Structure 1
Amino acid sequence: MTDFSLIETLRYEPEAGFVRLRLHLARLTRSARRLGFAGAAAAEAQLREAVRDAESAVRVRLTLDRQGALAVTTAPFTPLPADALWRVRIASTRLDSADRLLRMKTTRRGVYETARNEFFAAEADEVLLLNERGEVCEGTITSIFLDDGHGALKTPPISCGLLAGVLRTELICQRRARVARLSPADLHRGHLYVGNSLRGLIRAELVV
């Protein structure tokens, strides 16, 4: 029995609408098809209904289970300051690159919660995970990007064992990012960023 649901977390702004909606719906539909989940076709209508009366920016969370049951919740969204700099640390917890479910956003969050719990909130704003080969994968809630001064941002390939993040997908499609395997040492050789569709790119500093 499948004991998890698919998730999409979006930002809605009254003047602009949903941010990256098409990419979110495409990921949800693709994951649902691969897992045999029904109900993805009804997601957009439920999302729009949930924000019908929104007068300010909101964080919107949608879940879809195997039976096709959709649930949408909303909460106020507070953006980060423009000059935000997140301190990030590397967890000892490892991802398994052979686990194909890591490529989908689901409620199966155990490995990420374990990694996050390795550090107190005061010690790290985000925690990064490596795979069994020691390759950089992703943060607990973000994708990883490195500006090493040689063109487009570098971001780890899905084959390392990580989520196909919506912001990551957009940046690759815009040719602002390209896939490249990264080691922990590489993260010191340029400007580091983490990011997701909800918050966008965030400058980061690796703390060792």
Structure 2
Amino acid sequence: MESPLRPPADQGFRLIETMLWTPEGGFQRGDVHRKRLAFAARRLGIAPVGAEAALAAFTADGPQRVRLTVNAEGMPEITHAPYSPLPEGTVWRLAVAETRLDADDPWLGVKTTQRQLYDRDRAAMPADVDELIYLNGAGHVCEGTITNVFADLGQGLVTPPISDGLLPGVLRSSLICAGKVRIQHLTLDDLLNAGEIYVGNSLRGLITSVLQGA
């Protein structure tokens, strides 16, 4: 079946991968990032040219937040900035977004610049909120603006299935493959009653979190 996705006419459209690079270890979870980029490119009919070479040639002094983008013609670009880890003991405060996501929206499954909702909502977050959590039309937990969601309901960490409408995050995929996280539908009540809540991405790892009002 042909993919319903095609690059939009927007000249600024890009595929995106954001990675942590260190002089000692190179790109953290680099193979998983490459696989996700290749998957998104195939779905959109994009043939990346030179992305692997650009990543292989990257070097810098000290840990870096590296952003690889690929445009509709397949041309890559790398930008980077010094990476500063979150302070030890950081706890993010979560709130529930007003907008409900459509679990059938195919754009939710690929990381691109087609994320205006997330960018707009994140920019409008109040000072006492660090991340917003989206639900879908069925009331299932989806994801955050820049993170996946994880919860301990008493039998280890679980995270929502892709079918609920969310990005297959690199950290999420790595933890599932390592047997450290199981896939399970989550509701708002589940989060309110969870022993522990985390949000996370490949750059920051798992971040201990609390749901406002819980």
Q: Normalising by structure 1, what TM-score?
A: 0.93
Corresponding residue to 1:126 among 131, 150, 170: 131
CA positional deviation for 1:114: 3.4
CA positional deviation for 1:118: 4.7
Deviations along 1:32-65, one digit per CA (max 9) or x if unpaired, are 011101116x22221232x32x120000001111
Between the aligned partners of 1:118 and 1:133, the Cα distance in structure 2 is: 25
Corresponding residue to 1:199 among 184, 187, 204: 204
Q: SS of 2:111's equivalent?
A: coil
Root-mean-square deviation over aligned CA pairs: 1.3
Is there any run of 5+ residues in structure 1 with no aligned partner, and where? none
Aligned 1:44-193 pairs, distance under 5 A? 44-49=52-57, 51-52=58-59, 54-120=60-126, 122-151=127-156, 153-189=157-193, 190-193=195-198
What is aligned with 1:28?
A: 37
What letter corresponds to residue 103 of structure 1 in structure 2? G
What is aligned with 1:38?
A: 47
Q: SS of 1:159's equivalent?
A: helix
8 A contact 1:142–1:196 mirrored in 2: yes
8 A contact 1:6–1:64 mirrored in 2: yes
Q: SS of 2:69's equivalent?
A: strand
Q: What stretches of structure 1 move > 6 A for 4+ residues in a row?
A: none
CA positional deviation for 1:84: 0.8
8 A contact 1:115–1:129 mirrored in 2: no
CA positional deviation for 1:117: 4.3
Deviations along 1:176-200, one digit per CA (max 9) or x if unpaired, are 0111100011002220000000010
8 A contact 1:25–1:43 mirrored in 2: no
CA positional deviation for 1:133: 1.5
What letter corresponds to residue 46 of structure 1 in structure 2? A
Is there any run of 5+ residues in structure 2 with no aligned partner, and where? 1-6
8 A contact 2:51–2:75 mirrored in 1: no
CA positional deviation for 1:110: 1.3
CA positional deviation for 1:167: 0.2
How many residues align? The count is: 203
Paired-residue identity, % = 50
Q: SS of 1:119's equivalent?
A: coil
Higher mean C-alpha deviation, range 192-201 or range 110-119: 110-119
CA positional deviation for 1:116: 2.2
8 A contact 2:143–2:166 mirrored in 1: yes
